[in-house]
Copies of this chain bind each other. A is one copy, B any other.
């Protein structure tokens, strides 16, 4: 039983809450039994698991992976986990390699800053079968908070994070960029059904998609009607609606 968060292995794991350390080590933290199962099911490499108790499911995963199951006190768990009153387990997991870009329907996270939004878009992409591409300006998609909001989507559809998804790059890769913009004249239903793979670009929460991206030739702009008169939708909600419409139109 590890009782101090100054324990070497706990201290090393705890550092993975920092973006820079995650990128250096190529590891992240995965919290909770559901996400641990998802990581194991996706054959992600699991290095060690910290748990309050040795429950059967966690013990089985550790045995299959040949990794240590380390029991810790609730206080140590609190230092490792990003949730409040964490029940664990918390696992140190290799960040999966970025998969190759395929010419199929994708959602592009353009400088998405909120961990909850980023994770929720990845979750929806997993549910609706979309490839995920992200700009370097996004929140770190492999942060524990984003992984938690992703509810397994990270392992079902690992995001492509090593590509600069400029419209020219997307078009050259066989994807037609689509952007939802306030005040665009083409309604969503007309645009999202086009019979080629699309890249739905979802813009930053405060600044949207940059004008130079929207104005690039070959980028299709559409609007989601908002009779309530509000200025905008939450980024993850807009992404969810656009992905749903696309999925149903194809």
Contact = CB atoms under 8 A, between A and B. Distances in A.
A47 to B, nearest CB: 26
Interface residues on A, range: 35 or more
Contacts of A125: 228
A153 interface: yes
Contacts of A229: 127, 156
Interface in A109-163: 116, 120, 123-130, 149, 151-153, 156-157
Given A233-B123, A236-B236, A240-B233, A128 B228 contact: yes
Q: State the number of copies, please.
A: 2
A245 to B, nearest CB: 8
B244 A124 contact: no
A225 interface: yes
B129 A227 contact: yes
Interface of A: 116, 120, 123-130, 149, 151-153, 156-157, 189, 224-230, 232-234, 236-241, 244, 247-248
Given A120-B236, A153-B230, A244-B244, 6 more contacts: A123-B233, A123-B237, A124-B234, A126-B230, A151-B232, A238-B240
